[in-house]
Amino acid sequence: MKQKDILAGLKEKYHIEELNDMQKDVLSTSNQDGDIILLSPTGSGKTIAFLIPVLKALKEPNGNLQAVIIAPSRELVMQIGKVARDIAIGHKVTCCYGGHNVIDEKQSLSVTPSIIVSTPGRLLDHIKRDHINVHSTRLLVLDEFDKSLELGFQDEMRRILRRMPNIGRRYLTSATNIDEIPDFVRIFKPQIVDFSENKDELDQRTTILRVNSDDKDKLQALFKLLRNVPNGRTIVFANYRDAVERIYYFLKDNDVPVGVYHGGLEQIDREKAISMFNNGSYSVMITTDLGARGLDITEVMNIIHYHIPITEEIYTHRNGRTARINATGNVYVLVNSTDKLPEYMKFDGKFTMNDDAEMQLSAPFATLFFQAGKKEKISRGDILGFLSNNGGIDGKEIGAIDLHDHYALVAVPIHKANDILNRIAKLKIKNKRVRITLATI
């Protein structure tokens, strides 16, 4: 692909007028020989940084797999796949990950794509079933490689890479420096593009405050804190899945606009959780450390540590969800009398709460769930036209439309949601009867 076409696609789809310094550096480095290691925090634009040179290096579609991008989580695979599809004009991009319909993936692979974006386990499964031949792959990206090693994907990646003898260039990205890269990656004398965030710079953009809880159980303190924080996306981290569920139901019962995200949820509920948090259907998300990395969540204002993180690395990744790319953010650490604070945890001050404060956190949208998606030949334009023509709503009032294989999520003003549902309940979209409900998790 031509660089000007890729940049034009970024401008059209993502309104990116100019690449950031890290993306420019990777692009410049890619014009030289050798593999590339990119060190940069999550949320800094790594996906675009490696996609531009990968797409530039693609030949015309020729029936062979040209590039493989391996990422450690389903959410990251979907995020990369979406950007790749938006700008890889003329090239087929297929995403493969656990929780996705295997039959849909097999059918998609029946016509060999130019690019596969996949988690390690699902890609190895397709290879073993002869659904795809990776022998021709010339370009390999190992995204969030440090996270892949942390999650135990080393064996799967070793077995995949053994089947790729023709790799001409490797891109390895990581949020943290990797002391030793395993031999199976076969990366030697790489060029290193180091944009790993300076901790002092991040600290300058982040205000870290101690919040005392009078009780060992921090639920009431958290509820009071949420009434005191400024309005904006707020993530609450807890160490355990059962604690996340307990916090979620407590806040939900107290009418807080809250959602939940953890590894025990079905894949569709995890996807809905992120979409609804991003589109304004709720402003608070309770999560385990699964939510600390690899998720496409923008403009988080407040981070709350309900539990003290287990390691300094986890603490850093949690805090890194806010104050992204020169923005500022607030970090609150709930502390009770039994908590032992680690030495690395430094506070800018103590946060004093107002007992009479009223909740500022708001959720201006509700989400409509369309039980049909790309595989049913439904597009974003179809949904937008259907709602604006039949739902009693101006198209400009409709928020984000997230289109998946077999369903779609559409943000609409919360005060109009029920009226819209009543208007469209018995109507067909594209001559199809599609079940439409209010989305819940």
DSSP string over 233-279: EEEEE-SSHHHHHHHHHHHHHTT--EEEE-TTS-HHHHHHHHHHHHT
Q: What is the pLDDT of residue 101?
A: 84
Picking from 167, 141, 171, 154, the residue whose alpha carbon sits closest to that of residue 77 is 141
For the chain, the first-to-last Cα distance in angstroms comes to 40
Picking from 54, 56, 46, the residue whose alpha carbon sits closest to that of residue 25 is 46
Give the span between the Cα atoms of 205 and 180, in whole angstroms: 31
> Hey, how many other C-beta atoms are within 10 angstroms of the C-beta on 327?
14
Q: Which residues contact 266 (CB under 8 A, 6 or more apart)?
A: 99
Per-residue pLDDT of the chain (441 residues), as tens digits, is 999 999 999 999 888 999 999 999 999 999 999 999 999 876 678 999 999 999 999 999 999 999 999 999 888 999 899 999 999 999 999 999 988 888 999 999 999 999 999 999 999 999 999 999 999 999 999 999 988 988 899 999 999 999 999 999 999 999 878 878 999 999 988 999 998 765 555 556 788 999 999 999 999 999 999 999 999 999 999 999 999 999 999 999 999 999 999 989 998 999 999 999 999 999 999 999 988 876 778 788 999 999 999 998 888 888 877 756 556 689 999 999 999 999 999 999 999 999 999 999 999 999 999 999 999 999 999 999 999 999 999 999 999 999 998 999 999 999 999 999 999 989 999 999 999 999 998
Q: What is the 8-class DSSP label of residue 414? A: G
Give the span between the Cα atoms of 271 and 208, in whole angstroms: 30
- Order of all β-strands in the sheet with 284-287: 258-261, 284-287, 233-237, 300-305, 329-335, 206-212, 349-350
Q: What is the pLDDT of residue 314?
A: 87
CA 316 to chain centroid: 17
C-beta separation of 390 from 436 below 8 A: no
β-partners of residue 68 are: 116, 140
β-partners of residue 93 are: 115
Q: What is the 8-class DSSP label of residue 432? A: B
- The angle at the Cα of 29, spanning 25 to 33, to the nearest 5 degrees, equals 175
Picking from 41, 73, 67, the residue whose alpha carbon sits closest to that of residue 54 is 67
Q: What is the pLDDT of residue 140?
A: 98
State the chain's maximal CA–CA distance in angstroms: 66
3-class SS of residue 68? strand
3-class SS of residue 207? strand
- Return the exposure string of 266-299: e unless at least 16 CB atoms fall within 10 Å of the residue's CB, then b: eeebbbbbbbbbbbbbbbbbbbbbbbbbbbbbee
Q: Which residues contact 390 (CB under 8 A, 6 or more apart)?
A: 423, 424, 427
3-class SS of residue 172? strand
Give the span between the Cα atoms of 292 and 308, in whole angstroms: 14
The first and second tokens of residue 242, run together, are: 């059962």
C-beta separation of 102 from 135 below 8 A: no
- Say which amino acid occupies 361: L
Give the span between the Cα atoms of 348 and 13, in whole angstroms: 39
Backbone angles phi, psi at 366, to 5 degrees: -120, 165
Give the span between the Cα atoms of 385 and 396, in whole angstroms: 11
Q: What is the pLDDT of residue 261?
A: 95
Q: How many CA atoms lie within 13 A of 226 on its CB side?
A: 28
What crossing angle do the helices spanning 120-128 and 154-161 adopt, rounded to 10°?
40
Q: What is the pLDDT of residue 379?
A: 95
Give the span between the Cα atoms of 36 and 31, in whole angstroms: 11
Picking from 94, 152, 90, the residue whose alpha carbon sits closest to that of residue 120 is 152
